[in-house]
Amino acid sequence: MTEEPHPPLLTAANLLTTSRLVLLPVIILGIVSGRGYLAAGGMLLALITDLLDGRLARKLKQTSSFGGTLDSVVDFVLIYGLFITLYVAGRLVLWQFAVILLAMASVIVMQAPALLRGGAVARTRFSKPAGALQYAFLLFLIGCEILPPLPWLRYINWTLFSVLAVAVIGSSVECATGLLQKRQPAPRVDEPTHVE
């Protein structure tokens, strides 16, 4: 009986994924130093790597559960690192940041047990939309670093954030519901179940 070889960890797709971690300090520096073009350029490159890494892995036949988990962890660090930076830099108000923290806490509570067991990343129906909306909102906020302060941008901010908040709350509720269902013991076979 032969063991199946483990897929290599150092692949082109995984290097592309980890390049987002290299871009994170560049984006943060651009935000805190008032160099909006640096932040916007770094964010654009990060988005491009996020769009390409999975496609590259599939094209080169280098997909693996490690690569998928790496992508999720890097996205988590990038997204929430930037939201924290934007809050500290005064670009997010406290209640917006509180909703973002709710999203971060939900992701940690939902993902940590699966990742610690070496399993796949857990998902809810709202996971993908919430992640995409977080990226969109980040792109908008970082784009505002280079745009003149136009009054209508405020309406876009509130609209994007409102849709994001609904997705985050939906994901958090679904995560909490799933955790509660896992904690409730299943009825024993010899116990009658009440059906109305």
Q: Say if CB 137 and CB 160 are below 8 A apart.
A: yes
Q: Is residue 7 assigned to a domain? A: no
Residues found in the chain:
196
What percent of the chain is predicted at pLDDT more than 70?
Answer: 80
Q: Tell me the CATH number at 84.
A: 1.20.120.1760
Give me the domain span that covers residue 66: 12-183
Q: Say if CB 31 and CB 142 are below 8 A apart.
A: yes
Q: Is residue 4 assigned to a domain? A: no
Q: Is residue 196 assigned to a domain? A: no
Q: Is residue 153 assigned to a domain? A: yes
Q: Is residue 142 assigned to a domain? A: yes
Structure tokens that stand for 78 in this block: 């990038």
Contacts of 97 (CB under 8 A, 6+ apart): 83, 87
Domain count, the chain: 1
Whether pLDDT at 176 is above 90? no
Q: Is residue 42 assigned to a domain? A: yes
For the whole prediction, is pTM greater than 0.85? Answer: no
pLDDT digits (tens, 9 = 90+) for 24-43: 999 999 999 999 999 999 99
How sure is the predictor about 3, in pLDDT bands with cuts at 50, 70 and 90? very low
Rg (CA), the chain: 20
